[in-house]
Amino acid sequence: MLTELERAQSPGEDTVPRAAPQADAAGPRTAAMADRHAMTVDVEDYFQVSAMEPRIDRADWGRFECRVERNVDTLLALFDDHGVDATFFTLGWIAERYPAMMRRIADAGHEIASHGCHHHRVSSFSQAAFRHDVQRAKAVLEDVTGQAVRGYRAPSFSIDERTPWAHETLAETGHVYSSSVHPIAHDHYGMPDAPRGPYRPIAGSDFLEVPVTTVELAGRRLPCGGGGWFRLLPYAYSAWGLRRATGRDGLAAVFYFHPWEIDPGQPRVDGLSLKTRVRHYTNLGRMQPRLARLLTAFDWTRMDRLFCPAPGGEPAAAPPTPATATAGP
């Protein structure tokens, strides 16, 4: 691993490895899967993250300084500079309050997708309540932007063994894909036995689950698809993990982050645990230049264009067949 990490830092390594077409037990792979990747943004503000729940009631969200608009505009400029189209998984609460911002995202060519209404974890809902939440969020996002909402990402990657009805509910409410599974073990979320690549969780349905990217090393799954790990660990780690997953394993990467992660001037919330403070505030000032480097190093596009394009669009990456979808990595 050290040798590969050192190689990731060496000159000339900021290009995507071009993996040859291959196939394995997880299903067919194509060169396109390894050459192009999905850039995603979870649009929520700093006071809305799950780690803040013990200190901030949702009923009090309106009392906090909202900084999401300025941060999203910075990201739009950054993506434009690098010629990147991305998917913005957005809270309905945000869309209702910042409709002009949402239209700017859509007008810039990015995909609008759902992050639910108020950042409730799916495991906190009954099936009926979850249905209401995703229907409402989808309607708000579509009304504000005029763009069909096809994708969904669960807050805190909270689709797991406790929510066996979640994928079917999403399909029934008009969603085409989800990116709600993080196939690792974590203290807040995770499905460590889930497939690492795209799979169809509903037998006989085209509905697709596209997990966030992980890498395997010595029999262990490690996160490398963004979030806090991208800020907390050296850039070389994420670059190595993404190259290993896309090159050796032939997977299209799915990377995610939040607008508040590029905002070192955000207000500090009192009373947080040491773990939460470290996870939330570390390296905020380094995030934007790291993102710029990442946008240059890999070829990024929207989730829908990569995995489930509309008829006549770009070809989708081939997922595992239903027979192998639940068989693990």
Span 218-224, mean pLDDT? Answer: 90
Go through 14-48 and write b for each residue having 16 or more CB atoms within 10 A of its CB, e for each that does not. eebeebeeeeeebbebbebbbbbbbbbbbbbbbbb
Question: Is residue 124 in a domain?
Answer: yes
Whether 166 contacts 154, CB under 8 Å: yes
Question: Is residue 134 in a domain?
Answer: yes
- The answer for residues whose C-beta is within 8 angstroms of residue 219's C-beta and 6 or more apart is none
Question: Is residue 18 in a domain?
Answer: yes
Question: Is residue 314 in a domain?
Answer: no
Where is average pLDDT lowest: 36-40, 149-153, 193-197, 287-291? 193-197
CATH number of the CATH domain containing 260: 3.20.20.370
Kindly give the interhelix angle for 68-82 and 284-297, rounded to the nearest 10 degrees.
30
Greater confidence, 53 or 200? 200
Q: Chain-wide mean pLDDT for the chain?
A: 85
189, two tokens? 């979320």
Residue 189 has a pLDDT of 65
Residue 185 has a pLDDT of 75
Whether 258 contacts 29, CB under 8 Å: no
Range list of β-strands (E), 94-203? 111-114, 151-152, 177-178
Span 83-111, mean pLDDT? Answer: 98
Pairing of strands 23-24, 27-28: antiparallel
93, two tokens? 């609460």
Residue 309 has a pLDDT of 74
Span 234-242, mean pLDDT? Answer: 96
**127-161 pLDDT per residue, tens:** 999 999 999 999 999 999 999 999 999 999 999 99
Span 93-104, mean pLDDT? Answer: 98
Asked whether residue 4 carries a pLDDT value surpassing 50, the answer given is: no
**254-275 pLDDT per residue, tens:** 999 999 999 999 999 999 999 8
Domain count, the chain: 1
Question: Is residue 326 in a domain?
Answer: no
162, two tokens? 């406790």
What global pTM score does this model have? 0.85
Count of alpha carbons within 13 angstroms of residue 303, beta-carbon side: 30
Span 1-30, mean pLDDT? Answer: 33
Greater confidence, 174 or 275? 174
Greater confidence, 220 or 202? 202
Span 287-301, mean pLDDT? Answer: 97
Question: Is residue 67 in a domain?
Answer: yes
Distance CA 193, CA 252 (A): 19
Whether 37 contacts 254, CB under 8 Å: yes
Greater confidence, 289 or 22? 289
Span 315-319, mean pLDDT? Answer: 46
Span 240-266, mean pLDDT? Answer: 94
Residue 53 has a pLDDT of 86
Whether 156 contacts 279, CB under 8 Å: no
Asked whether residue 190 carries a pLDDT value surpassing 80, the answer given is: no
How far is C-alpha 143 from the chain's CA centre? 23
Q: Which residue carries 């409730």 as its tokens?
A: 120
Asked whether residue 249 carries a pLDDT value surpassing 90, the answer given is: no
Range of the domain at 41: 2-307
Distance CA 71, CA 298 (A): 22
Residue 54 has a pLDDT of 83
Question: Is residue 289 in a domain?
Answer: yes
Q: Which residue carries 């995995």 as its tokens?
A: 307
Count of alpha carbons within 13 angstroms of residue 157, beta-carbon side: 24
Residue 311 has a pLDDT of 56
Residue 188 has a pLDDT of 65
